[in-house]
A and B are shown apart, each in its own frame.
Chain A
Amino acid sequence: MAVGFISFAMFKFMGDPVENMLGQEATLADKAELEERLGLNDPIIVQYFRFLERALSGDFGVSYRAGLPVGELILDRLPATLELALLSGVIAISLGFVLGVYTAIRRDGIAAHFIMTASLVGVSLPTFLIGVFLIWLFAVNLGWLPAFGRGETRSLFGVDLAILTWNGFKSMILPAVTLGLYQMTLIMRLVRSEMLEVLRTDYIRFARARGLSQKTVNFGHAMKNTLVPVITVTGLQFGSIVAFAIITESVFQWPGVGLLFINAVSFVDIPVMSAYLLLVAVIFVTINLIVDLLYFTIDPRLSVSKN
């Protein structure tokens, strides 16, 4: 609701769409007629509920620039962003988790120190810089991977996905790595510190005092206990992967909703912008819901006894 109101408020305060739509030669009569037709003369509260009602049924209005329904535009672009976010999320979580556990168990090893130092780079360099650097290295110099675009796509259940073609997958690698690198280092550092924390607990000492093997202790007992905080942050991070995709998509010219949004901003295409804002909010809320549900499957202390 709150985000809905903000997106709606953008209509009211960010320029006059009527002027943009009519052009410079329009008369005042034209303008009045259009305003009447668009319902802009109704009270704000009426307009707001009309906006909400339409948004709920998937109608976000018509893009000023493309002249197409916004819902259609976004739906068209959404698979590209989601598949990119998913791939980079998978990279970030799996690699971040493995490296985090490794650096926690071998915390005095040379490799662990190296990984920790390298992770500082991942945390501190801005996304666009990493993106440009990766393009320079793998696309320009080595020529292994394409520098921009989405490559070929293949349709699955009516959704065009790049990951299903070799060419498309190759195009996805660089943006996915760029997008996921920051999240990966973040997850890795979090897993590491959580793991170190858990390894100091009494039940780990007790597990070791019972003669359980190092492997059982580390992976059976310690790792599962790091999951709850890690999942919380990972969930939030996945939301920001979708949001951060704006930068990565514009660096790699990836035709997703982020790029759509950037273009919309430069043309003050407000229906697109507000719909995007709502979409990101919905994604965040959904992820948080999933995260909360995951807690219950991991931590038995949270479920209320059935008896």
Chain B
Amino acid sequence: MLRPVDRVGFEVRAGEILGLVGESGAGKSMCGSAIIGLIDRPGRISGGEIALDGERIDNLPEDRLRRIRGKRIAMVFQDPLTSLNPLMTVGQQLIQTIRTHLPVSSGEARDRAIALLEEVGIPAAATRIDAYPHQFSGGMRQRVVISLALAAEPELIIADEPTTALDVSVQAQIMALLKKLCRERGTAVILITHDMGVIAESTDRVAVLYAGRIAEIGPTRNVLSTPSHPYTKGLMASTPSTTGTMHALSQIPGSMPNLRAIPKGCAFNPRCEKAFSVCFKDIPILEPVDGSEVACWLYDPAVNPETKEISGVSE
């Protein structure tokens, strides 16, 4: 059995934006699909639990899960150009979604749809509602996608790389929109991305994923300014900065392991300069370090005699 996501645990509070960051194949999107219950066969959730507002949802029958999807948990996908059905008008898709979850007439649903489009910043929403997706630009389409996700006022939005397919100026607008809506409505957001810039600007907390496991999780400022896990340190060192002197970007040697060949112990061990004996034997678990939680044996004084020295350096 392959484990694209392994022992990942986190929580998101209402009104909070949690970032999930990691390389391609780190299991970010799989986390999102698992939460909303849309893992494609033959994948499945083999263990653990997912709870929404204290109520476990991962073991619900498909029919009840469907009622949660869109109504309480919504999802925004990466590519707005392919996320909308090309043969239906924007309004038809909105009205259909609204009426699936709310007991309103089609007239009311239409009014609501127009209000939603206005809210996400579509000009002349009342006429644009009858346009087809191909008549919108990429950025506008992503706004439509967000309005569809918001249609039934969900408590949680999972945004899977919502800006990756957009050009940079539009990216900032879309992120600002997501942040604004999240603040205004008190919606929790899980923002999946590999863009450290987006993480730094938009998220309250961040979880760094590596080979399907959480390497480090904590308040964004904390994780980015004082990374503890060697992988996070490597990531930060390889992110270009506009301040300070110019120097060649450092790289983490090697690449993320194939799912079929995740090394024993800590998955990061082949690429880690600091790896020592325990790292090759046992999987580290998350422990509090400097206000974050880090899964690394370096911070376990019981196995690493140098721990004091290392934390002394970072202080």
Contacts and interface: CB of A to CB of B under 8 A. Distances in A.
Interface of A: 201-203, 205-214, 216, 220-221, 224-225, 298-301, 305
B127 to A, nearest CB: 10
Contacts of A225: 85-87
B140 to A, nearest CB: 16
B162 interface: no
Interface residues of B, number: 33
Given A210-B74, A300-B134, 9 more contacts: A201-B82, A206-B148, A210-B70, A211-B71, A212-B70, A212-B96, A212-B97, A216-B100, A225-B85
B101 interface: yes
A206 B145 contact: yes
Among B77, B79, B83, B145, residue most surrounded by chain A Cβ atoms (within 10 Å): B83
The 10 A-B pairs with the shortest beta carbon distances in the complex, nearest first, are A211-B70, A211-B69, A210-B70, A209-B75, A202-B82, A300-B132, A206-B83, A203-B85, A210-B97, A202-B83
Contacts of B97: 210-212
Interface string B137-170: 0000000010011011000000000000000000
Contacts of B100: 210-213, 216
B84 interface: yes
Contacts of B83: 202-203, 206
22 contacts: A202-B77, A203-B85, A206-B77, A206-B84, A207-B85, A209-B38, A209-B74, A209-B75, A210-B75, A210-B97, A211-B67, A211-B97, A213-B66, A216-B96, A221-B88, A225-B85, A298-B87, A299-B87, A300-B86, A300-B87, A301-B132, A305-B135
Nearest to A299: B87
A301 B69 contact: no
Contacts, number: 76
A216 B93 CA distance: 11
A224 B151 CA distance: 23
A301 B38 contact: no
A296 to B, nearest CB: 12
Nearest to A225: B87
Given A209-B69, A213-B100, A301 B134 contact: yes
B132 A210 contact: no
B2 to A, nearest CB: 20
A212 B71 CA distance: 10
B256 interface: no
Among B77, B83, B85, B135, residue most surrounded by chain A Cβ atoms (within 10 Å): B85
Interface in B41-99: 66-71, 74-75, 77-79, 82-89, 96-97
Interface of B: 36, 38, 66-71, 74-75, 77-79, 82-89, 96-97, 100-101, 132, 134-135, 145, 148-149, 151-152
Contact of B38 (A201, A205, A212): A205
A213 B63 CA distance: 8
B86 A211 contact: no
Contacts of A224: 87
A214 B38 CA distance: 12
Contacts of A201: 82
A202 B97 CA distance: 16
A225 B82 CA distance: 13
A305 B100 CA distance: 30
Nearest to A220: B96
Contacts of B96: 212, 216, 220
A203 to B, nearest CB: 5
A149 B67 CA distance: 58
Contacts of A213: 66, 100
Given A216-B96, A216-B100, A301-B132, A209 B87 contact: no
Contacts of A207: 85
A225 B148 CA distance: 20
A214 B66 CA distance: 9
Nearest to B71: A211
A301 B135 CA distance: 8
A221 B132 contact: no
Contacts of B66: 211, 213-214
Contacts of B152: 211
Contacts of A300: 86-87, 89, 132, 134
Contact of A211 (B82, B84, B101, B135): B101
A202 B79 contact: yes
Nearest to A203: B85
B101 A208 contact: no
A15 B87 CA distance: 56
A212 B70 CA distance: 8
Contacts of A205: 38, 77
B82 A209 contact: no
Contacts of B87: 224-225, 298-300
Among A201, A203, A209, residue most surrounded by chain B Cβ atoms (within 10 Å): A209
A305 B151 CA distance: 28
Contacts of B101: 211
A305 B96 CA distance: 24
